[in-house]
Homo-oligomer: A and B are copies of this chain.
Amino acid sequence: MLPDIEIARAAPKRPMPEVAAKIGIPETALIPYGREIAKIDRAFLDAIEPRAEGRLILVTAITPTPAGEGKTTTTVGLGDGLSRIGKRAAICIREASLGPNFGMKGGAAGGGRAQVVPMEAMNLHFTGDFHAVTAAHNLLAAMIENHLYWGNALDLDPRRVRWRRVIDMNDRALRDIVTGLGGVANGAPRQTGFDITAASEVMACLCLARDLADLEVRLGRIVIGERADRSPVTCAELKAAGAMAVLLRDALQPNLVQTIEHTPAFVHGGPFANIAHGCSSVIATRAALRLADYVVTEAGFGADLGAEKFFDIKCRSAGLLPAAAVIVATVRALKMQGGTALADLGREDVAALSRGCANLGRHIANTRGFGVPVVVAINAFESDTEAEIAALVDYAAHQGCRAVLCRHWAEGGAGAEDLAREVVRLAEGPGGFAPLYPDEMGLFEKIEEVAKRIYHADAVIAEASLRDQLATWEAQGFGALPVCVAKTQYSFSTDPKRRGAPNGHSVTLREVRLSAGAGFVVAICGEILTMPGLPRAPAAERIGLTAAGEVEGLF
């Protein structure tokens, strides 16, 4: 196989009007951004609002390991597979963050023959959506500083401003800074910092908003800090939401590109998957559901984090009813879950695989707990043996679900036709989706519910001050929000080394944060880094342009 970037570059692309026409988007609804990307016009989105919805398929995964499980690749492959078996299909995935590309090799959108193109644009500025989020977020920061500077009429406590700034760059030196030095003309010194743009609450607002009006409402609800009496101060009180919405007006229109097999692909939004919900935008998903019969989307990390947030935050907020879920697993990753060391993954080890299947089994049961039928997609690797595959298929069968061998990485959509057929079969069944907990449950109880029923922990340990904070937010009217748990993605527990399906563990709550604009309460149960650094030899040193002006070193 050629490298991903060469496959992507060599793939002949169809004109965007032709790709859009596959799902009934007229050329007049396309706003071109370069030759291979289009945004979908707001007026068209409004016009299709009354239409019936197609079936929503979530692609999630077992607990991730460095061995990789191929969630985006499977999302793309399944979309192409559905197209190949004659279904009107679309995929919905997240946009890539710019900054991390200059640290490690850039993330592609899928891999092998299951990719979304154009790859360079998608890993660089794309349609500028991240830049728009950065600008809107930092405008609010500037307006907060300006409000303090000109007399602080809102009585905001400068020590309790919690709105930081964002930049789409890996820059550890900006994590913890003091601003406002240099005298009166520059304001007063204040300790603050920068997060990476994907971690912005503005990004989460953009991804959960139904339309422009809803976006402005969400932005207005953002709590930027508190007064001395601890009452919240909002973005709306600073009169910033309108200007922020202006900066985000174009960014809210979903981006359309294509897979290398020309299936329409919405690539829109890119929130963090720990301190935010980690799913592509509601507006793209809802549009796709009105245009295609099958919409394939994914959620970040393993199903314990990604699928749970997809169901309890995104589906709850947007009224989405997922029809089926695909849990991606690889033989290699399951062997790691069963205790095999990275160096030994090439060797057959059915026993380790069988032990590791406990991880898969728990994700299957958890996902079914939401009333969503499940199929396991085995993302094939060359080193997989027949005995291993058979053991995995057998394990799934004992859980009452099919595990389908998929070869979309090597073969494109043709390698995912079996998966596509099983997805269609499942999605035709009666829908039974329900979120994990009701809105009216207490915030702490919601955290417990996720910890006990999804992570299978015995208890949530939290200091009184954290419980008090949650109670205060309930008293302030934020009690109906869902919770967004930030913890390691490498284990069901909070210990990244505990593989498989651990029991007998407890979850310690370290911090809680209110994202009133996005519409959730973040429960932090681990070390969460919201501003990455660059490695010793960053990819940026090797990234450049060839004499012909082509990008090299980015992939």
Contact = CB atoms under 8 A, between A and B. Distances in A.
Interface of A: 31-35, 42, 98-99, 102, 124-125, 128, 131-132, 134-135, 138-139, 141-143, 145-146, 149-150, 167-182, 185-187, 190-191, 193, 212-213, 216, 238-243, 245-247, 249-250, 533-534, 536, 538-545, 547, 549, 551, 553-554
Contacts of A102: 139, 142-143, 243
A172 B143 contact: no
Contacts of A547: 213
Contacts of A142: 99, 102, 169-171, 173, 534
A242 B553 contact: yes
B544 A242 contact: yes
B146 A534 contact: yes
Contacts of A176: 180-182, 186
Nearest to A171: B142
10 contacts: A32-B35, A128-B131, A142-B169, A145-B171, A149-B533, A172-B186, A176-B180, A185-B533, A240-B541, A246-B544
A545 B216 contact: yes
A243 B542 CA distance: 8
Given A125-B131, A125-B247, 11 more contacts: A32-B35, A34-B250, A99-B142, A143-B534, A143-B540, A172-B180, A174-B179, A185-B533, A213-B547, A239-B540, A242-B543
Contact of A32 (B33, B212, B213): B33
A119 B346 CA distance: 60
Contacts of A135: 98, 125, 131, 168-169
A226 B23 CA distance: 58
Nearest to A543: B243
A173 B145 contact: yes
Given A31-B35, A34-B33, A125-B131, A177 B178 contact: yes
Contacts of A239: 540-542
A175 B169 contact: no
Contacts of A179: 173-174, 177
Nearest to A168: B135
This chain: copies in complex? 2
B128 A169 contact: no
Nearest to A531: B186
Given A135-B168, A181-B191, A212 B549 contact: yes
Contacts of A167: 138, 167
A335 to B, nearest CB: 33
A143 B538 CA distance: 8
A134 to B, nearest CB: 8
Contacts of A541: 143, 238-240, 243
B138 A171 contact: yes
Nearest to A190: B173
B182 A186 contact: no
Contacts of A213: 547
Contacts of A216: 544-545
Given A34-B31, A35-B31, A242 B534 contact: no
Contacts of A178: 177-178, 181
Which of A33, A132, A538 has the most CB atoms of chain B within a 10 A radius of its CB? A538
Contacts of A540: 139, 143, 239-240, 242-243
Contact of A149 (B34, B172, B186): B172
B246 A545 contact: yes
Contacts of A247: 124-125
Contacts of A168: 135
A390 to B, nearest CB: 47
A139 B243 contact: no
B191 A172 contact: no
B138 A169 contact: yes
A475 to B, nearest CB: 30
A347 B31 CA distance: 51
A214 to B, nearest CB: 12
Nearest to A191: B181
B169 A186 contact: no
Contacts of A186: 172-173, 175-176
Contacts of A181: 176-178, 191
Contact of A536 (B31, B150, B545): B150
Which of A102, A146, A239, A547 has the most CB atoms of chain B within a 10 A radius of its CB? A146
Contacts of A177: 177-181
Nearest to A547: B213
Nearest to A245: B545
A240 B543 CA distance: 8
Nearest to A252: B549
